[in-house]
Amino acid sequence: MLSAYDLTRDDWAALLDGEPAFRVEQIWRALWLEDRDIADVTTLPKALRARLASAVSEPLTVVREVESDRGATKKWVFALEGGATVETVLMAYDDRVTVCVSTQAGCAMACSFCATGQAGFTRQLTVGEVLAQVFAAARSAAPRRLSNVVFMGMGEPLANYPVTVEVVRRLHEWRGMSARHLTVSTVGVAPAIERLAAEGLPLTLAVSLHAANDVTRNELVPLNRRYNLDRLARACAAWVETTSRRLSFEWALIDGVNDTDQALDELAEYARPLRAHVNLIPLNPTPGYLVMGSPPARVAAFRAGLEARGINATVRQTRGRSIDAACGQLAAVTNPKRRRVPLASQSSDR
């Protein structure tokens, strides 16, 4: 059965056949602009609410809800139909409220330092399942308005390409969100970046770089063996040229691995021609990767080193570490069917 956020306006019109025409608009506004649950659309007669609620499925079941940062960060573990689980994180800041959504249950990219990658891939999410995460978070954020959606939860958004594109499109067209408020983060699926550039979608692209030499990057991000740094740079250049948007690189600072002066020079050289912004992430601990994050002084020095080399850099504020909700820590491990899918059978040349 489809869920409320799978349905288009025409689908609602068909479901509301026989009702006054303004009902479609009422439900549409309630769902997409007012972040309401069907059960809370009090402008609809009670019987109609009940009928609509039973005509659509509820794609997410809360398994666990935890908070940290004095309530400013919240993480949900949601069970999907079939039993797989995903995690969603809501972060409230002074100037914005951001939800971090998952696009896959698990991930097949196998990045060594990421807990999701360590656990393997379970399945793709549907459009309704990704949107349901956004709106569950939006309802929880009220009375503050959810302002930003980042595709940085479990999974590789560009390995679930059609769903990611459709979700971005709906959030833009139906909820009125702009490019500055929608960020897709990718491990660097080069052909998919080029295809995305041509879609003309309003979004910000972040590329998880982490190393700017192929030897190190092959270790950290195995997809690099398929799309190496040269290939990735070509895709990034196409993105910047086609969209005229600023690109950003994510770089999780790992002690002695990618925080050296040599790494600094390599990164600066790679980022400069693309005029990319660098977002430094202090490495968050995960069970399967025993290397340490860079000490705070090194993080600060690395940032200063980038600035001195003419590269714009910021340090990402870490949220939710105590509840395993920080970058790279999402790994709902309640699905016994979780399996590792070989890289080669996962990503397709698009």
In the set 87, 129, 250, 266, the catalytic residue is: 87
The answer to whether residue 87 is catalytic is yes
* Type of residue at 194: E
CB of 119 to ligand SAH, least distance (A): 12
- Cα–chain-centroid distance for residue 70? 23
**Residue, CB closest to ligand SAH:** 328
CB of 250 to ligand SAH, least distance (A): 4
What are the backbone angles phi and psi of residue 345, rounded to the nearest 5°?
-85, -5
CB of 328 to ligand SAH, least distance (A): 2
List the beta bridge partners of residue 249: 207, 278
Cβ-based neighbour number of residue 294 at 10 Å: 22
**Interface residue list for ligand SAH (CB under 6 A):** 111, 113-114, 152, 156, 185-187, 208, 250, 252, 281, 283-284, 286, 327-328
CB of 284 to ligand SAH, least distance (A): 4
Secondary structure of the chain in the HEC alphabet? CCEHHHCCHHHHHHHCCCCCCHHHHHHHHHHHCCCCCHHHCCCCCHHHHHHHHHHCECCCEEEEEEEEHHHCEEEEEEECCCCCEEEEEEEECCCCEEEECCCEEECCCCCCCCHHHHHCEEEECCHHHHHHHHHHHHHHHCCCCCCEEEECCCCCHHHHHHHHHHHHHHHHHCCCCCHHHEEEEECCCHHHHHHHHHHCCCCEEEEECCCCCHHHHHHHCHHHHCCCHHHHHHHHHHHHHHHCCCCEEEEEEECCCCCCHHHHHHHHHHHHHHCCEEEEEECCCECCECCCECCHHHHHHHHHHHHHCCCCEEECCCCCHHHCCCCCCCCCCCCCCCECCCHHHHCCCC
CB of 153 to ligand SAH, least distance (A): 7
The answer to whether residue 100 is catalytic is no
CB of 281 to ligand SAH, least distance (A): 4
Query: Is the distance from CB of 86 to CB of 137 less than 8 angstroms?
Result: no
* Type of residue at 191: P
CB of 136 to ligand SAH, least distance (A): 19
**Closer of 111 and 276 to ligand SAH (Cβ):** 111
In the set 107, 111, 236, 327, the catalytic residue is: 327
Enter the tokens of residue 107. 């991930």
Catalytic residues: 87, 327
